[in-house]
Amino acid sequence: MSDTFFSGAPHWTWFIIPYFYVGGLAGGACFLAAILEWFGKPEDRPVVRAGYDVAAVGAILSGLLLTVDLGQPLRFWHMLFQSEHFPAIMFKAWSPISFGAWAILLFGLFSVLSALGARAEEGRLRNAALRAVGGVVRGGLAKFVSGVGGLLGFFVAGYTGVLLSVTNRPIWADSPWLGALRARGRAAGARPLPRLPRIDQPGVARRLGAGPARRGGGRGDSRPAAVAHETRAGRQARAARRLPAAARHHARLRGNRPLPTGGWDVACSQDVDIAGGWG
Amino acid sequence: MPEAMGFFTDTTVCIGCKACEVACKEWNQLPAENGGVGTLSGDSYDNTRRLDGIHWRHVRFIEQFKGPYDGRWLMMSDVCKHCVQAGCLEVCPTGAIIRTEFDTVVIQSDVCNGCRACIAACPFGVIDINPVSGTAQKCTLCYDRLKVGLEPACSKACPTDSIQFGPITELRQRAQKRVEQLRAQGTKADLYGADPKGPLGGLNSFYLLVDKPEVYGLPAKPQLPTRNLSKSAGFSVASAAVLGVLALVGLRKHWMDDMGGPGGGGGGGGGGQN
C-alpha cells in the first residue's frame, strides 16, 4: 500500500483550480511577451503589449484568488514577512508555497510595470504618476523589467506543479513530473508564438483589450486545417492545432478561428489538479 | 533546555473509553462537531472517525471480524506524531509551525493564515483546519501544561495508562520491555516510530502495535514531502530551458519568414513539435 494513502486532503479547490489556470496563463503570456520584447520585430509590439496586459491582470487576479482562499485572508502577508518581527522577511527556499508567494508578488510588480510601460508606449496613460512610471520603464528599462518578469512568469507557471509534488498526497507526491508538465502546459504558449498570425494592421492592439470576454465563443465553427492547405494560414493552423489551451487562448485573443484540440499535457495536468484537490 | 518529551501509546491496554478525547477537547476548548448534534459513522462504533482541526485525539477502532462470534477490536488513541523531522514544519510558509524546547511540534494559531500546505504535507493526515479559528490546528502536546510542569490532559486522563507521557529516552526503554513481555506471552507486538534511525528520525509520539501499521491507518514508511523537491524542480527547470530554446528556434524562423528565404516557411511546425 502506498505510503501516501494516509494523508489528508488540503481542500484546495474553488479558488485554487482557477488560480492554477489564471496564474499559468499570466506567467506564460509574460514569458512569451518577454521573448518578443528581446528578440521580436517592431510589428510584434502589439502582441508584446497584449502579453503584458494579460500578465498584469492575471497576476493581480492570482494574488486575489490565493488570498481569498486562505483561512485567514487578512494574514496573507504572514507568508512574506515574519508577523512577530515585521520587517524581517519570511522566506523558505525549500518550501514551494513560500517561494511561490514571493514569486507571485514580484511577478505582479514586474508585469504591472511592463504593462504601464506598454500603455506609455501607446500614450494612453492619463494619470501623471502612472505616466511617469510608464515613461521610466519605456526609457531604457523595458528589456530588463520584461526579462525579469518573463522569468518570474515562467516560475509562476511551473512552481505549482512542484508544490503539489512536495506533499504527501497520492498522485501528486508520486510523480516528480508535475512541475515540468505544468510549466509545459501553461507556458507552452511561448512555443508556437511566432507561428501564430502576426498583427500587421494598425488598430488591432486596441481590439485586443476586449479579447478575454470573447474567449468562450465559437467552438462549433472550427474546420479541419486541411481546407487551408499550402497557404501560410494553413501552416499556422496546422501548427496551432498542436497547441495547448493557453495558446488557443492567445489565438482567440487575436480574433483567430478557435482551434478544436487541446494539448495532452494541459488536459492531463488539469485532471491531476482536480483529482488530488478533491481527494 | 528540557529533555525531549513525548507519548508512548500501548494499544494493547486501550479500552476505547475516549477519556483522552474528552480531556483534550476540554483542556484545549475545542468546539463540538456539527453544532453538538451527534452523527454516527454508521459502519463502526468509532464515531469520531478522524483527526482534524477540532479532534486532536482520536481513539481509532479497528474492527476485525470474521463472523459474528469470531473477531477482535484493536483500539489505538491516535494523535500528532511530533515527528523529529516534521513535514508540516518544513513546508509551512508563515513560520507558524515551530519546534519547541520539548522537541514537540506546535502550530501557533495567531501566526497561521490557513494556507493548508501543512495538511497535504503531513504523512499521517493529522492536521486540518479548525473552522472556528480558520487556521490549521493539531495536538500541541499540551505545550501550555508542559510549560508549568503538568503532563498533557490526555495522558493524565487515561485510566489504563495506554497513553504514557515522559522523556522519550525513558519511554523507549519502557516500551521495549513491554514488547518483550508481550512476545514472551506469544502475542505479536512491534513498536512503531520508536527508532531514532527509522523514518522521519523517529516519532516523539510512538506506538506499540499488534498488527501491521496500515491496519491502524499508519503508513509503513512515512516520508518527508521535500523528498520530491529537487527532482521535481529540476525537471521543471529543464523543461523551461527546452521551451526557451524552442521559442528562440521558432523566432529564428519568424525572422527568416520575413526575409522570404525558402528555409523559413518550409519548416512548418518544426518549432512547435517536440
The reply to whether B54 touches chain A by the CB within 8 Å rule is no
**B226 to A94: CB separation less than 8 angstroms, yes or no:** yes
Contact list in B for residue A240 (CB cut-off 8 A) is 272
Residue B29 structural domain: 5-221
Q: Classify residue A212 by burial, with Cβ atoms within 10 Å: 0-12, 13-18, 19+.
A: middle
Nearest alpha carbon to residue A66 among A97, A92, A88: A97
Indicate whether B256 belongs to any domain.
no
Report chain A residues whose CB lies below 8 A from the CB of B221. Answer: 3
Neighbour count for residue A84 (Cβ, 10 Å) = 11
Q: Does B247 contact A190 at a Cβ distance shorter than 8 Å?
A: yes
Cβ-contact A249, A29 below 8 angstroms: no
Q: Model confidence at B35, in pLDDT bands (50, 70, 90)?
A: confident
B232 assigned to some structural domain: no
Is residue A279 scored above 70 in pLDDT?
no
Contact A179 B271 (CB under 8 A): no
> What is the predicted pLDDT for the residue at B36?
82
Contact A97 B91 (CB under 8 A): yes
Residue B273 lies in a domain: no
With cut-offs at 50, 70 and 90, classify the pLDDT of residue A217. very low
- pLDDT per residue as tens digits for the range A77-133: 999 999 999 999 999 999 999 999 999 999 999 999 999 999 998 888 889 999 999
pLDDT in tens, B186-218: 999 999 999 999 999 999 999 999 999 999 999
- pLDDT value of position B61: 95
Amino acid A192: pLDDT? 41
CA angle A274, A268, A183 (to 5 degrees): 95
CA distance B57 to chain A (A): 16
> Across the interface, which of B93, B114, B220 has its CB nearest the CB of A98?
B93
Adjacent-strand bridge partners of B77: B59
Q: How far apart are CA B156 and CA A58, in angstroms?
A: 53
**How many C-alpha atoms does A152 have within 13 Å on its Cβ side?**
25
Under the banding of pLDDT at 50, 70 and 90, the label for residue A68 is very high
Total number of residues shown for chain A: 279
> What are A15-64's pLDDT values in tens digits?
999 999 999 999 999 999 999 999 888 888 999 999 999 999 999 999 99
Q: What is the pLDDT of residue A184?
A: 59
Look at residue B237 and tell me if it is in a domain.
no
* Residue B147 placed within a domain: yes
Chain B segment 94-113 residues within 8 A of A by beta carbon are 94-96, 110-113
- Split at pLDDT 50, 70, 90, the class of A1 is confident
Q: Which residues contact A205 (CB under 8 A, 6 or more apart)?
A: A45, A46, A49, A50, A122, A199
Cβ <8 Å between A6 and B218: yes
Residues in chain A within 8 Å Cβ distance of B238: 180
pLDDT in tens, A144-202: 999 999 999 999 988 998 999 999 998 888 877 777 776 656 555 444 444 443 433 33
Phi and psi, residue A67, nearest 5°? -70, -45
B228 touches A: beta carbon within 8 Å: yes
| Cα(A184)–Cα(A270) distance, integer angstroms | 12
At residue B260, the pLDDT reads 62
pLDDT of A222 over the 90 cut: no
Residue B268 within a domain: no
Mean confidence (pLDDT) of chain B: 91
Grid coordinates standing for B273? 513539435
Provide the shortest C-alpha distance from residue A98 to chain B (in Å). Answer: 5
Instruction: Give the one of B115, B126, B235 whose C-beta lies nearest to A97's C-beta.
Output: B115
Whether B244 is covered by a domain: the verdict is no
Count contacts between A and B (CB, < 8 Å).
Answer: 234
Question: Residue B271: inside a domain, yes or no?
Answer: no
How deeply is B241 buried, as exposed, middle or buried, from its count of CB atoms within 10 A (0-12, 13-18, 19+)?
Answer: exposed
Give SS3 for A128.
Answer: helix
The Cβ-side half-sphere exposure at A73, using a 13 Å CA radius, reads 8
pLDDT at A183: 62
**What does the pLDDT look like over A225-256, one tens digit per residue?**
333 333 444 444 444 444 444 444 444 444 43
CATH number at residue B150: 3.30.70.20
Task: Report angle CA A167, A171, A174 to the nearest 5 degrees.
Answer: 70
Count of domains forming chain B: 1
Would the pLDDT of B108 be above 90? yes
Residues 205-244 of A with CB under 8 A from B: 232, 235, 238-240, 242-243
Whole-number pLDDT of residue A268: 42
Q: Is B136 on the interface with A (CB under 8 A)?
A: yes
